[in-house]
Structure 1
Amino acid sequence: MKKIIQFAAVPVLLSASLIAHAQSPNAFGTPTDEVQSPSAAITAMPGSRAQGWMAQGRSEVLARHGAVATSDPLASQAGLEILQQGGNAIDAAVAASAVLDVTSPNDTSIAGDLFALIWIAAEQRLYAINAAGWAPEGWTPEYFRDTLGVERVPGTGVNGTTVPGAIAGYEAMLERFGTMGFDQTLERAATIAEQGWGLTERRHADLLSALERIRSDQDSIDSFLDDNEPPALYSIISNPGLASALRMIQRDGADAFYRGPIAEAIVAKIEEVGGVMTMDDLAEFEPEWVEPISTNYHGYDVHQLPPPGQGFAALQMLNILEVCAPEHNIRLADLGPANANYWHFMVEAKKIAYSDLLAYNADPLFVDIPLDRLLSKSYAAEQCGRIDMNKATDPATTGGLDGGTIYMSTADRWGNMVSLVHSVFSVYGSGVTVAPYGFILHNRGVGFSLEEGHPNLVAPRKRPFHTIIAGFVTQNNQPLMAFGNMGGSVQPETHAQHMVNMIDHGMNVQMSTDVARFTHNQNQNVLSLETELYNLVSSALRGKGHEVRAVSGSAVGGYNAILFTPDPSMPVPGPDDYDMPVNGVYRAGSDHRKDGQAVGY
């Protein structure tokens, strides 16, 4: 058999045997049993951009009517669809996050927790919601030490699952600031769960990494595996059980989750496998509206949520960088990210901030946390002497938590903006799935301590140390940027790196994520650098005493952000102006390390 192919407009005859020898067995990147991730084995050089920073992975997305940036194109498009239907940024945030609950069970779930910062343009005010669930009434130190016989809260199974807060958080956001209900905002997520979606490279890799966890629970096997094996890369998967749960919440609201059939299924599953959560633990939970915390960094106000989230470590790190740089006769802007001293200074500031984080962070409803002192510039000045520019130090307090998360931003034509983070903590959370509804339970309880006297000691109805944080930037009391970086313990240090990138160096919203980042393990005192950065500065950092290793982008999490650039000459849209664009332009970026996309219109 012969075939004709066209090359340079000249017909060429090739035999079928020659074609077979010339082509890849994985044409178009199609996986096979022998090669499950074909692109990983290909040796090739990246192409170059035509303008700007040549290593930037993609351009910023600019839009006037609204923007959405998430770690999944389907979620971004769901949020955009809501904006185009006349919904606001709050409606869009719930819609996009709900899609992630479907497509990203490795990172999040309707049985996860969430935090959000919400800028309301009509009030010129930033709001914060803490939808982190509390511990069951039966969770005491004695329950874990004596009944379970453990020395730390388990990382797998239902004895790491606190009450899921996300659905209550969604409802509180929509009731206070939204213009739509669950019927509209959950529709896209429910439809995708019913019809199916494609399994991407990152999520396929996460699935492979979590197989042991998933296989420990039959309901997880039934929901996420195919004949006890992971679905193939790019295959179509669906979750009809989760679709049923979403349809029920569309109809009956959060009551379905906390007081109705879904709550009954959660309690039944937890009791079945040895946990102690009750219907009252679920029914009595409510999210909390809290006051954001902030610091000023070189003229910009950077906002975070208060504890039990770890956002105050990002603010403290920025304070140390700002105050201590002159004390050491350096400027980050002058050193630049190609200089080993730059990274040394950043890492040493991180160690100090995380030491206080690990020593103090807990549920503020149970313990007093000296945030006013920790976030003061005078306290930062007291720390400068702890930094030796010639020598790496040991952290004063060790520890740390890894985990998986989604972070996303939305913005609308009226100037409202949302910064939202949502998580099941570990990859595939607790590993336990609630039948018949197909959602994974989180394992956020692992953030508790069992050390007597520790502020984060487990207690009934207490919320654990939370790694998930959402960031927001204002200047002169005007909104500037909703931003964040998913990825467990890396989040505060990466928030600080993004602020330095954009404020000290003038990087744009996309470039900030495309440059290499560091992450430092506070427990092992190991500094990880993305490969190209490692190749550039690791020798000099070793000379200062750092233990350095090279890592892939999976170690530094994933970023999304939306920046607002106002134009004072343009009119501000009124509440009923559904066609008028915002009085300025949104600029959005998304991390190439994840599956995400920034979109706008």
Structure 2
Amino acid sequence: MAATAQPLASQIAIDILKQGGSAADAAIAVNAALGLMEPTGCGLGGDLFAIVWDPKTGKLHGLNASGRAPMGRTLEETKMKSAAIMGEGEGIPPFGHLPVSVPGTASGWFALHQKFGKLPMRTILAPAIDYAENGFPVSPVIAEYLRMNLARFEEYEEMIDEFDNARAIWFADGAPQAGEVFKNPALANTYKLLAKKGRKAFYEGEVAETIDAYMKRIGGDLRYEDFAAHEANWVEPGCVDYRGYDVCELPPNGQGFAALQMLNILKNVDLTQWPRASAEVFHYMVEAKRLAFEDLAKFYADPDFAEIPLDWLLSEDYGAERFALIDPEKAMTDPAPGTPPSTIDGEGDTTYFTVADKDGMMVSLIQSNYRGMGSGLSPDGLGFMLQDRGELFSLDPDHPNAYAPGKRPFHTIIPAFVMKDGAPFMSFGLMGGGMQPQGHVQVLVNMIDYGMNVQEAGDAARFHHSGGRSPTGLHGDPVGELDLEPGVPSETVAKLKAMGHKVKIVDDGIVFGGYEAIQRDSKTGVYSGATEMRKDGTVAGY
């Protein structure tokens, strides 16, 4: 089974599985296809995270394939160059070369393939190459995202060191329309190179050399040496028990542990005493999010550069301590991060998908260029755009997430996995910047507390809270804004306003993320899939 944000990508996954490929093979094929078909959410210029259930070893494996900042640019240089564009104290620009870090996606593909692959990469990448050369019809939601990205690029074009390449690939005649047949032969050629020469072609060969020359031409800082030094890392997922289910996320530099912190707070109250769509349930979830995100802003960073008190943050005692700060009657006016026993938000457009094979392997994978399509920079002849993930560094030298040469920035993209009684229960995720941890929790509350099935849990009306402290050091309104979908009852909206929440009804669906999931019945081995009604996605199985 495969659940992805684009129908053709789901079909590609099934084709790979039918050829005897593993779930990892199919996931790579999906990601390659989405780099072409959903360039607004992902691509070879971005980063990748995954959680894999391996039935052979009975173990969850975590993969962090996120890239690092240029080794040749210091914090002081970054502050100076950023201030010249943004003004003093306004952070790293969202576009151009300053937020670009090494793309980790290709390293993630080859790490997955080396550990779990069955088919050769030429077979895995063949469907994406074929569509890139011969074209595919653009789907409606992605067409709208392309239109929005073009408008944003044109608004901030003066920040982008070079935009002609990107315009020629994606916007030669304006943004592609829904149903328009789109081709990207340059990307096909890059995929052919990877299929033939492997990982080295990207990090030690032609791709790295091309990006090095491009960066030198436009005045950027990323160099061949940054690519050659890059490695993806296998990491240990962290898990917490939520009412008998073990919910697992990847550790920082990502934000996955914020979802676990929220669950540790929420387990201190029986939510089922109220209806799911009640103000009380929304209130407790929002307040748990706000408390968890205060800690996220203070502590989450690259663990190679920062001491992070992870055991304390995920402890049940700390969850209970944080729960005690919630007033059941009104919103907190100024929540703060916790203080460990010994002290040691931004928007994002992302693709999430999950694949499960006949042997029981399940892959939960998320991949992104960060802000929409990324930096606006598309290196000569490669057919993909470089990410702008480095915008999420702090420029405060005392912050754990402060910019440093060779450091990984704070990351928003997070895959998730749920275990039940030692067996895999669900592989799932939800796209969309800071929406992701709060989306994970809402889906789990819907299923575990309220008994919804895997599709109903994603369809239920959601909230999205923004504001408060940020890992960039640029903090927002401490109360923040609470976005609600139109499906939330009017009496709930009114009561949340009376509690002090700054409520806004948002009906475009974009801010509420994009959910995909595969659930496994431990007794029968049967898979049940769900896809996001707010996106173009489909679930396919055989």
Normalising by the residue count of structure 2, what TM-score does the alignment of the two structures yield? 0.92
- Residue from 303, 306, 309 that aligns with 1:364: 303
332-341 vs 304-313, greater mean Cα deviation: 332-341
What is the CA distance between 1:462 and its match in structure 2?
0.6
Query: Where do 1:509-524 residues align within 5 Å?
Result: 509-522=454-467, 523-524=476-477
Question: Which residue of structure 2 aligns with residue 355 of structure 1?
Answer: 294
Separation in 1, partners of 2:386, 2:136: 21
Match of 1:573 in 2: none
Asked if the contact 2:423–2:522 (Cα under 8 Å) also holds between the matched residues in 1, the reply is no
Q: CA deviation at 1:405?
A: 0.3
Q: Is the 8 A contact 1:352 1:395 kept in 2?
A: no
Report what 2:481 is aligned to: 526
Q: In the alignment, which of 416, 432, 442 is matched to residue 387 of structure 2? A: 442
Aligned to 1:159: 98
CA distance in 1, matches of 2:58, 2:315: 25
Report 1:6-155 matches (<5 A).
Answer: 67-150=1-84, 151=89, 152-155=91-94
Where 1:265 maps in the other structure, the secondary structure is: helix
Paired residue type of 2:51? L
Tell me whether 1:457 sits opposite 2:391 in the alignment.
no
- 1:534–1:550: 8 Å Cα contact kept in structure 2? no
Residue 594 of structure 1: aligned partner: 535
Q: Does 1:225 align with 2:180?
A: no
After TM superposition, what 4+ stretches of structure 1 lie above 3 angstroms from structure 2? 147-151, 212-216
User: Post-superposition shift, 1:394?
Assistant: 2.9
Q: What is the alpha-carbon distance in structure 2 between the residues aligned to residue 139 and residue 392 of structure 1? A: 42
- Partner residue in 2 for 1:180: 119
CA contact (8 A) 2:49 2:415 kept: yes
Match of 1:541 among 496, 499, 503: 496
Residue 422 of structure 2: which of 477, 488, 501 is its match?
477
SS in 1 for 2:251: coil
What CA distance in whole angstroms lies between the structure 2 residues aligned with 1:363 and 1:415? 32
CA shift in 2, pair 1:379/1:181, >3 Å? same
Aligned length: 512
- Give SS of 1:460's match: coil
| Cα distance in 1, alignment partners of residues 525 and 149 from structure 2 | 44
Aligned AA (1:560)? E
Cα-to-partner distance string for 1:234-289 (whole Å, 9 max, x where unaligned): 21111011111011111011111112111122122222222111101001101001
Which position in structure 2 is the counterpart of 1:196? 135
The equivalent residue for 1:43 is none
Paired residue secondary structure (2:355): strand
Find out whether 1:414 has 2:355 as its counterpart: no
Structure 1 unaligned spans of 5+? 1-66, 326-330, 568-582
- Which secondary structure state, in structure 2, belongs to the residue aligned with residue 584 of structure 1? coil
What SS does structure 2 have at the residue aligned with 1:439?
A: coil
Counterpart residue number, 1:285: 230
Match of 1:554 among 500, 510, 529: 510
3-state DSSP class of the match of 1:433? coil
State the partner residue of 1:10.
none
Q: Distance in 2 between matches of 1:411 and 1:200?
A: 24
Q: CA deviation at 1:138?
A: 2.0
Secondary structure of 2:98's partner? helix
Q: How far 1:536 moved relative to its partner?
A: 4.5
Q: Distance in 2 between matches of 1:105 and 1:139?
A: 28
1:335 aligns with 2:274: yes
For the aligned residue pairs, the C-alpha RMSD in angstroms reads: 1.3
Would you say the 8 A contact 1:502–1:512 is kept in 2?
Answer: yes
Contact 1:359 1:397 in 2 (8 A): no
Q: Does 1:490 align with 2:435?
A: yes
Q: In the TM superposition, what is the alpha-carbon distance from 1:232 to its structure 2 partner?
A: 2.8
Q: Deviation per CA, 1:465-522, whole angstroms, max 9, x where unpaired?
A: 0000000001121111100001011000110111101100111010111110001012
Corresponding residue for 2:473?
Answer: none
Structure 2 residue ranges without an equivalent (≥5): 158-162, 338-344, 468-475
Q: Matched residues, percent identical? A: 42
Give yes or no for contact 2:75–2:405 (8 Å, CA) kept in 1: no
CA distance in 2, matches of 1:521, 1:88: 38
Q: Contact conserved, 1:214 with 1:221, CA < 8 A, in 2?
A: no
Query: CA contact under 8 A between 1:79 and 1:93: conserved in structure 2?
Result: yes
TM-score, normalised on structure 1?
0.83
* Deviations, residues 88-140 of structure 1 (Å, cap 9, x unaligned): 11111111111111111111111110000000001000000100001110232
Instruction: Using the TM superposition, give the Cα deviation of residue 600 of structure 1 relative to its aligned residue in structure 2, in angstroms.
Output: 0.4
Aligned CA distance change for structure 1 residues 147 and 431 (closer, same or farther; 3 Å): closer
